[in-house]
Structures are given as C-alpha cells and as structure tokens.
Amino acid sequence: MANSNGWGDGASNNDIGWGQGADNAIGWGSIYANSWAGATDIVGTPAVDPDAQAFITAASITDPTQQSAINQLVVDLKGYSIWTKAKMIHPYVGGTSTSTSFNLKNTAQFQISWVGGWTWDANGVKGNGVNSYGNTGFNMTTQITSVNNFSAALYTNQYTAGGVDFGADNNSNFYLTVKSSIFGTNVGVWTAPNVVTYADTNGLGFYTGVKNSSTVTVYKNGSQVVTSGVSIGTFYNGNVYIGGLNRNGSLLLPTNVRYAFSAIFDASLTATEAANLRTAVQAFQTTLGRNV
C-alpha cells in the first residue's frame, strides 16, 4: 500500500519510505541501493594503516582480500608492539616477481633481487633448488645494532628439498634452516653463530630464531623447540639471501622450499612476542588461504 507516510508493506515511491522496497529520499526499506542514506554512507569505509597502504601501492596489490590481509597484519604487529622491532618483512604476496620483492616495513629498502629459477604465485615464492636465491640487500653488520640481540622468522608452506633457507656467513655467522639433510635426518638449524640443531620432521610452518646475549632459542609455530648457550661471534659483512646461503659472496645450498613470510628483527623477541608474531602471521596466511 502506497500512502503519504509509506508505512505499508510495499511502499516503494513515497515521502518517507518505510516499506520493504523503498526507492526514496531516506530509504529505510530493505532495498536501499538507490537511497540517499544507504549503508555505505552510514557505516563508512574502514581506515587503512598508512604503512600497509604504502606497501599496497608500491607492490600494486589490487586484490581486496590481499589488501585486507596486509592491512590486518600491519595492525596486528603494531598492536603486539613488534612492528618497531622489525627491520625487514617480506610477506611474499601478489604472485609476481615484483610484488613479492617488496619490504613491508619500508618499501624503499631491501627490495629482493631474484636470481635463478623461481616460481611466484598466490601461495608464495619457491626456488628451484639449483641456482635460485633472493638477494635481500640486507647486511647484518650495518642493520643490526648488536650481534647479541636479534631475531629472524620464516614461514614455509611447501617443502620439497632443503638446503639453507635464510642467511649470510663466512663460517657459521647467521642462518636459519628448516628440515635439511645437511645436518642430519629431520633436523633444522639456527646458527648465531654456533650451530644449534632441532628436530623437524616436515619443514613446514612458522619458525622464529632468537639470539639473546649468549643464548639462542628456536620456536616452531609459536612453541619453543630448542634453547642453547652459544658464543658471541660476529656477523658476515654481506647481504642476507632467502632460498639459499650467501657464503662469502657465493650461493651455497639453494632450497626447493616455498616461502610465505620472512623477517629480521633488531631485537631479541621474548617468548610472548614470538607467540604473538606467530598468531599475527598465521592469521595473515589463513586469510590468504595458504596456511599450514
């Protein structure tokens, strides 16, 4: 019934339009796309974190799900007070050699140069295990304040053959390795600078290595898997590689592993921070449908 006040069930063209299908100046009906007071005008568009937006713009991320995931990751890392401790974060999103190369923390720094045979897709980045590596341009000697306090993290979601996943050295300075036959069956390694091994049967998940004074700790999926005392050591003056080890300026032990996240922090993450980091990164991977 259409009347002057529009209280009828189907009032569609009236002054107030409380009906179910009103196309009117106020538009309280259930179909309000053409009304003056539609849902968008009332609710508004959620704000995007400026650091997230800088990455989205630089990496040309156009997919709404990926944009939302990136924004939430930045918001979560800031909420956990982890963001400021990070120096380099690569979320490997966008599915191209260019989009996956950008550093989320600062898009003007540490853009990866891909070398050799790589595959880039929505699930991350994967080298061929023969001649592939990514040069991050990140030098531990100039970017990390103290050799005694730093952390590194890595998320893998497909494992074929291991080598050394992340690092730079001239003789056991810094590298993080998931399951690899190099050091024994089903063993991973965190070197900072002494070699510390831990059991790893599948090479999949989220790994965080922490150096805190003379102690190193490794967490897998937020839970501690090993802690050990180590010597002080020094950093190698060269760039960190992803998907292989920079050994004195040459590629050593490239991997056939797919990466969905990597990061380096200029701080020793606490157990709580390591767990929170895993929570944030796992939520990010789940939103993108590539979690393990």
- pLDDT, one tens digit per residue, over 105-140 is 999 999 999 999 999 999 999 999 999 999 999 999
Quote the tokens at residue 224: 């501690």
- Region 51-74 average pLDDT: 98
- pLDDT, one tens digit per residue, over 141-153 is 999 999 889 999 9
* pLDDT at position 45: 62
Averaged confidence pLDDT in the chain: 86
* pLDDT at position 174: 82
* pLDDT at position 232: 64
In this structure, what DSSP letter does residue 68 have?
H
pLDDT at 10 over 50: no
Greater confidence (279 vs 6) lies with: 279
- pLDDT, one tens digit per residue, over 117-126 is 999 999 999 9
Q: Which of 23-32, 164-173, 181-190 has the lowest mean pLDDT?
A: 23-32
Q: Which stretches of the chain are assigned E, i.e. beta strand? A: 86-90, 113-115, 118-121, 124-127, 133-139, 149-161, 166-169, 174-180, 187-191, 195-199, 205-212, 215-220, 223-229, 239-242, 244-247, 250-252, 256-265
Instruction: Note whether 179 and 218 are within 8 A (CB).
Output: no
Greater confidence (155 vs 44) lies with: 155
CA distance 5 to 75: 46
Q: Which of 121, 123, 152 is CA-nearest to residue 136?
A: 152
- Region 163-188 average pLDDT: 82
Q: How confident is the model at residue 176 (pLDDT cuts 50, 70, 90)?
A: confident
CA distance 3 to 29: 15
**pTM more than 0.85:** no
pLDDT at 100 over 90: yes
Question: In terms of DSSP H, where are the helices of the chain?
Answer: 39-43, 50-58, 64-79, 140-143, 271-287
- b/e 15-48 (16+ beta carbons within 10 angstroms → b): ebbbbeebbbebbebeebeebeeeeeeeeeeeeb
Quote the tokens at residue 234: 């020094």
* pLDDT at position 42: 43
* pLDDT at position 188: 86
pLDDT at 38 over 50: no
Q: How confident is the model at residue 187 (pLDDT cuts 50, 70, 90)?
A: confident
- Region 282-290 average pLDDT: 98
- pLDDT, one tens digit per residue, over 210-229 is 999 888 899 999 999 999 98
pLDDT at 4 over 90: no
- pLDDT, one tens digit per residue, over 227-255 is 998 776 789 999 999 999 999 999 999 99
Going by their DSSP bridges, the two strands 244-247 and 166-169 should be labelled as parallel
Q: Which of 140, 139, 153 is CA-nearest to residue 210?
A: 153
Instruction: Note whether 14 and 22 are within 8 A (CB).
Output: yes
- Region 25-40 average pLDDT: 40
- pLDDT, one tens digit per residue, over 14-23 is 444 444 444 4
Going by their DSSP bridges, the two strands 118-121 and 124-127 should be labelled as antiparallel
Say whether 36 sits in a helix, a strand or coil.
coil
